[in-house]
Structure 1
Amino acid sequence: MNPVQTQLLAQIAQRAANTPHGKRTAIYKAGAAELGISIQTLQRKLKEVSVTKPRKRRSDAGCSALPLEEAQKISAVLLESIRANNKQLSTIERAVERLRSNGLIMAGRVDEATGLFQPLTNGAIARALKSYKLHPDQLLQDAPAVSLASNHPNHVWQVDASISTQFYLADNGAQAMNKAEFYDGKPGNLKKIERQRLWRYVITDHTSGTLYLEYVLGAESAENLCAVLINAMQKRHESDPFHGVPWMLMTDPGAAMTSGIFRNLCRAMSIDLIINQVGNARAKGQVEQAHNIVEREFESALKFQPAHSLEQINTWAGQWMRYYNATAIHTRTRRTRYGVWQLIRQEELRLAPSVEVCRELAVSTPEYRTVSNLLRISFRGDQFDVSTVPGVMVGEKLLITRNCWRDKDAAIAVLVGEDGREQYHVIERIGMDQFGFAQTSATIGEQYKSHAETPAQVSRKVLEQIATGTTSEAEAEAARKAKAVPFGGLIDPHKHVSDTVLPTYMPRRGTSLNVNAPTVEHAPLTHVEAAKLLQPRLADLWSAESFGWLQREYPEGVPQDKLDVIEAELKRPAEVTRKPFSPVLAVVGGQ
């Protein structure tokens, strides 16, 4: 509006303000005719130039007739209907209808005057959800992110693979993939070009932003991943300073990233492997963004000049990579990527072995070795000293792998830290002298050496003091010498038995078992054999008369089980006339 129109609108607004309510229509019609606009347009323009008194805030502002418990149930139903792609399948109206029909919510109020139920409108429910911060639009927002930092170039690398969705390598070069021909609904077509599909591997240095690009054919496999990582660590073109072994490597939990061959390579190189949680691609957002840069800056050119071989496309990718890293200004550092990477110091740059050695290390599986009582382990035919490994104990198993930088005289012990991540500790090989003695051995009469106490030894001393009720090693030793009862006699080892109330069992009826018990029959003794056994028992009472009586009473031989009865009979006084032996006398044995 020009100044004249603005002044006229202000005059119309003033006249309408001075006119009683109900009589302003004529003023609006006259003003609209004067300006040549409709009454609706006039009303809209009057709001732009007039100053109105703000409405008084309602006393119940901020309050909702929808209780928090009902809002939570509605929000829970809405979240359950959300697909993995964050598409909401259920509306607020449908969720409220289902919950209300099942008697789980009321979502309304009863009019005190009429007693009629008045349901809340969908708009009121939506506003209530937002006031409670339970609306799906609020809940589906990304969780707050924390920015990550690295210490120096080569401190942290990020690696990721992605299928080049626009191109595959055909006989006549890189071809665009027709979406109507190659998609998930036609798996047969995708199968035909499976070995020809181009996979793009991108590695970025977190500090400088330097990116490394390489293409492979086939699939996202452990072999391809290891080959790309090995190539990235090598010194290449003079115009490409980016090389070396990273200290940490961040990747996603893909099958190739977590494979044994890839982990072997990282262990041998002492690379701390950091695998992101599933669905947390934002943790390695730098390399994800690098994919977008490659697609926009490099792959877009393949439509105008397709490559005819994998070597050709990698040659072009290398040229573009060096050009981009050397010329493009990074938004964070305000410098080129190569320019920032060149700030790396000598102690931060770890040079990688040759490609052949790296490939050998990738297939060398770490092995478990048992720690001897000399705090040594045997690995690849040599002895290694593990006394410097934190928390090492005799008899435990350590995971040992090769050391790519000192393969001759050192190895690496793979430990697991408190955070659950692998840590690497270098262990030295033990040399032997001409007599086969270890160079670390103590010479008799000249040296005295002892290992630091292992955690097991420290724990045993603490437990000894607990058992003896003492506070020092000397007191515990004195208590043991005094043969003190452990724990001061406070432990009754049988208390759990005596305190247990055993149930009383009802007797069970049984059936007698008729068993034909075997009978053992002994051959009768001859009179001479019986006399030899009876004479020591009777001593002076044995005589020739006793022998004659034995022959008369047992003419067929003397049973072995009757010796006690015969002894009692012969010990009877001589003046008692002995009657012929009878079973009754044998049993009673009286006079």
Structure 2
Amino acid sequence: MADQPSAELLQALLALRERMAATPYGSGTALVHRFAQMLGKNPNTIYTWLRTYAGYRSGRKKRADAGTTVLPEETLHFIAAAKREGVRGNGKATLPTAVAMNIAHGNGIDVTLSESRINALMRQRRLDARAQQQARSHQVLRSLYPNHVHQIDPSLCLIYYTPRGQAIMRDEEFYKNKPASLDKVRLQVWRYVRYDHASGALDVRYYEALGENQHCLFEFLLHTWGQQPHRLSHGVPRLLLWDKGSANTSFAIRRLLDALGVEHRTHAPGHAWAKGGVEQGNNLVETHFESRLRFEPVDTVAQLNAAAAAWVRDFNANAITHVDCRVVRQSGQPMVRDALWQSILRHPGALLQLPERAVCQWFLGGREHTRVVRDLQISFAHPELGATAHYDLSPWAASLGNGQKLRVTPLLMQQGALRIEIDRPGAEALLVQVAPMRDFDDYGRPAHAPVLGQDYARAPVSASQQAAHALAQAAWGDGATPEHAERQRARQAKPFAERNGGRGLVAHSHLGQASLPTRLLPTAQPLHTPALQQQQRAGQASQVLSVPQAVRRLRQALGEHAPADLYGQLKARFPAGHVPLQWVEQSIAASSLVALDQQADWAVK
């Protein structure tokens, strides 16, 4: 049936409604069935037409239990949740309701309704997959002025170039299940789109590369934020929204954005709607510009960018015949993008000029810059200043100490200022912006420094000095200063003397009292090396024993073989009372008195 019934059918429906109202209760059903049979329609369709176009109301009181069900809510939620978990990332539902009901039954959950009734209940309660896909409400956001917020998004273009010239990827040749087809494309063409959130002004640039990379993004930022002859909008924004792919592969770009003072944020994965402006911008570029290239191909990326620049110029100015390029917002009023961007004149300070290329390129070095604090100052060669400048950090002395390493980032368009990151224990790092020192006397020293012999001033107390005070008080008592601690050390005073009732610290007297386990060890074997044996012989030759010591040594070694008058024999042979140790050891080795007699002469000598 058409959206609006014909006049004849409408008159017939009105007449049917009047006849149904005039008949007794219950007789109207037969009238509807005869009317449906005459038209070859289902009676339910006739009832729908009557309600929609003839204002028919049955007058039947709504059931008291309407909208309720005997199926427990937990069962319905289980089935709906199972179906929701079966939805792919592309929105395709892979778990039919009947299968979810079977899984519920297999897990001891009774399902007493039919599949169609359960589907109806899920739709009524907005538990079905379609309702859940639309569950998130998107908050409309606004920006304050042109160049307040920019959105940037790179995407792979359908255009690529071969030795034969321009070609366009076709779905039947380059769909996802044929990755081998992409091997024919050595260098792909990437499209970078910039969208100004306030005015809707667009910019697009193409780059030929193997993939999304840092160099292309840097070149695009220089192009889109720099002033171009074909484009009205330009300048550095306050806030940049981009996806995680761009941010994760562009560490140096993030350093450049920090230096420019641009706050950059990424949206969560799967939330591309957060920067829907640039997503729509990609669609506009593809449908309003790239669609033209099929009819008028270009041979190189340079020619492609020249054509894109001409399209950007006319599109933002709404100067394309038969094409309404204006942006329409919730107000419903169509507005020209360039005219909206030109309102930046009413916002002083909103238009920020991009620094020259050499200065911006300095940040692509990719390394982190650190400086060491000396007397609460650091020095840094700022790329914009072209010379080394000094920066006074005394206002943050409480978080600093000499020798502390700081991470620094030069800021552009800030007269040589630095952004300095100061680590703090147990807290987030402190971010401060510091301008270079500029006031100096004729001799190159700071003009605010105290004059010798006239002014007296103490340097601010640093974090290291605060720690030194704390250590002095811990070791030498309350009220102690680092100077007092030095005097006490010079006097060899005992630190921590106030502990343990004035007895001082127990440092070693508590040692040796712990119970140790008994451990089994092997018997150590004597070590014999030529060097040790030579040293032992030399030592024995120079060592002597007294006569009593020699007697005890021999009796222990010889036992019952030792002569009874051993002491007299030794005393007679060594009247001076000095018995060579080597002689004793050799006598023991011989183990006989004969050996003693034979060696006596040698020993006397």
Q: TM-score, normalised by structure 1?
A: 0.69
Alignment of 1:263-302 (within 5 A): 263-302=254-293
Distance in 2 separating the partners of 1:443 and 1:120:
94
The 3 A distance-change label for structure 1 pair 142 and 36 is: closer
Amino acid at match of 1:357: V
Alignment of 1:161-240 (within 5 A): 161-165=154-158, 167-170=159-162, 174-195=166-187, 197-218=188-209, 219-237=211-229, 240=231
Name the residue aligned to 1:57.
63
Name the residue aligned to 2:575.
556
Name the residue aligned to 1:443.
451
Name the residue aligned to 1:151.
144
Alignment of 1:64-79 (within 5 A): 64-68=70-74, 70-79=75-84
Name the residue aligned to 1:95.
100
Distance in 1 separating the partners of 2:32 and 2:301:
79
Residue 56 of structure 1, CA deviation: 4.2
Indicate which of 324, 347, 350 corresponds to 2:349.
347
Does the CA contact (< 8 Å) of 2:152 and 2:242 recur in 1? yes
Residue 206 of structure 1, CA deviation: 1.9
Question: Aligned to 1:317, what secondary structure does the other structure show?
Answer: helix
Q: Give unpaired runs (5+ residues) of structure 2.
A: 1-8, 319-324, 489-494, 529-535, 548-569, 580-605
Alignment of 1:59-138 (within 5 A): 59=65, 61-68=67-74, 70-101=75-106, 104-108=107-111, 119-127=112-120, 129=122, 134-138=127-131
Residue 53 of structure 1, CA deviation: 2.9
Indicate which of 362, 374, 378 corresponds to 2:376.
374
- The Cα offsets for residues 374-404 of structure 1, whole Å up to 9 and x where unpaired, read as 3324547735214167675124322223444
Distance in 2 separating the partners of 1:510 and 1:474:
52
Question: Aligned to 1:295, what secondary structure does the other structure show?
Answer: helix
Distance in 2 separating the partners of 1:419 and 1:214:
43
Q: Does 1:398 align with 2:406?
A: yes
Distance in 2 separating the partners of 1:465 and 1:331:
70
Distance in 1 separating the partners of 2:413 and 2:192:
26
Q: Does 1:413 align with 2:420?
A: yes
Distance in 2 separating the partners of 1:271 and 1:126:
50
Distance in 2 separating the partners of 1:11 and 1:188:
70
Distance in 2 separating the partners of 1:228 and 1:300:
22
Residue 88 of structure 1, CA deviation: 1.8
Does the CA contact (< 8 Å) of 1:353 and 1:405 recur in 2? yes
Q: Does 1:523 align with 2:525?
A: no
Residue 11 of structure 1, CA deviation: 3.1
Name the residue aligned to 1:547.
none
Distance in 2 separating the partners of 1:493 and 1:136:
73
The 3 A distance-change label for structure 1 pair 443 and 66 is: same
Distance in 2 separating the partners of 1:5 and 1:131:
30
Name the residue aligned to 1:357.
359
Distance in 1 separating the partners of 2:376 and 2:474:
29
Residue 452 of structure 1, CA deviation: 5.2
Does the CA contact (< 8 Å) of 1:389 and 1:425 recur in 2? no
Using the aligned pairs only, state the percent identity.
23
Name the residue aligned to 2:491.
none
Question: Aligned to 2:198, what secondary structure does the other structure show?
Answer: coil
Does the CA contact (< 8 Å) of 1:13 and 1:50 recur in 2? no
Amino acid at match of 1:215: Y
Residue 202 of structure 1, CA deviation: 0.9
Q: Give unpaired runs (5+ residues) of structure 1.
A: 109-118, 527-550, 561-591
Name the residue aligned to 1:329.
326
Alignment of 1:441-590 (within 5 A): 441-449=449-457, 522-523=543-544, 556-558=575-577
Does the CA contact (< 8 Å) of 2:202 and 2:316 recur in 1? yes
Distance in 2 separating the partners of 1:488 and 1:556:
63
Name the residue aligned to 1:261.
252
Does the CA contact (< 8 Å) of 2:497 and 2:505 recur in 1? no
Amino acid at match of 1:337: R
The 3 A distance-change label for structure 1 pair 156 and 466 is: farther
Indicate which of 375, 384, 390 corresponds to 2:390.
384
Residue 98 of structure 1, CA deviation: 2.7
Amino acid at match of 2:360: C
Residue 252 of structure 1, CA deviation: 0.8
What is the total number of aligned residue pairs between the two structures?
508
Does the CA contact (< 8 Å) of 1:402 and 1:412 recur in 2? yes
Does the CA contact (< 8 Å) of 1:386 and 1:392 recur in 2? no
Name the residue aligned to 1:316.
307
Name the residue aligned to 1:428.
436
Does the CA contact (< 8 Å) of 1:154 and 1:348 recur in 2? yes
